Amino acid sequence: MEFMPEGPMAIPLWINGHAFLTASQDFLDVVNPLTGEALRRVPLCGAAEAAETVAAARTAQADWAALDGAARQQCLARLADALDSYTGHFAKLLSQECGFDSERATQEVGEAVAVLRSAQAGASGVFAVVLDASRPLAAFAETLTPLLLAGATLVVKPSPKAPSAVFALCELATRAEFPGGVLNLLQGDTAAVEGLCASAIDGLIYVGNAALGEQVAKIAAAAGVACECRSV
């Protein structure tokens, strides 16, 4: 992560197993909902950055899918163990950005760990995952696990209100020996979703508030992209 010269820390993208700093001039403050404090910033990305994240996922997909299913499951098990060992760190991020109390934040980390350790395989391909700030870490784990088990690769676009735990999980996946490009992260808002839908994705999954899901579904439909909306 890098610091903006005049403000809070800027959280970069995560592409092909590395942090990726964009040249974007537009940033959004990540604010603690309980105190109003500006904690961090996220770049508001668009079509160019979306295309780069999807290209990384597409390049990685064939080799990831060619792995033995047990090898993919081992990667997820290592990620679960790593997340479990950093429970306090992730709970703090959730408390700061979502306003969760300590018990709820710790519970969400535990839910994410549990699902990483036990899930059935879903669909394969290249998918975009769009999240709101309701359950950012647990919802991400619940969505990514069956897809990764099936050999899919992903681009996640977290809520700009609560991006840090999702970013940290992508970073942790690389430490857990996930190949580069299997998990990628795009920061931003509506323009980022439009950019993902304009790229070569096989489908989009939205998890969160139903009203926002309707907006995401309209963007996907306009681009001819299959979209599944899941309420939290």
- pLDDT tens-digit map of 167-208: 999 999 999 999 999 999 999 999 999 999 999 999 999 999
Res. 8: pLDDT tops 90: no
Residue 4 has pLDDT above 90, yes or no: no
Contacts 24+ apart (CB under 8 A), 135-138: 135/108, 135/111, 135/207, 135/232, 136/94, 136/97, 136/98, 136/162, 136/163, 136/165, 136/166, 137/90, 137/94, 137/108, 137/109, 137/112, 137/165, 137/166, 137/169, 138/108, 138/111, 138/112
Per-domain boundaries in the chain: 2-231
* pLDDT for the residue 213: 95
Average pLDDT, the chain: 94
Asked if CATH classification 3.40.50.10490 holds for the domain at 2-231, the reply, yes or no, is no
What's the pLDDT at 6? Answer: 58
**Reported confidence tier of residue 7, pLDDT bands at 50, 70, 90:** low
The pLDDT score that the predictor gives to residue 164 is: 98
Cα gap 186→193, rounded to integer Å? 9
Give the pLDDT mean for 139-149. Answer: 97
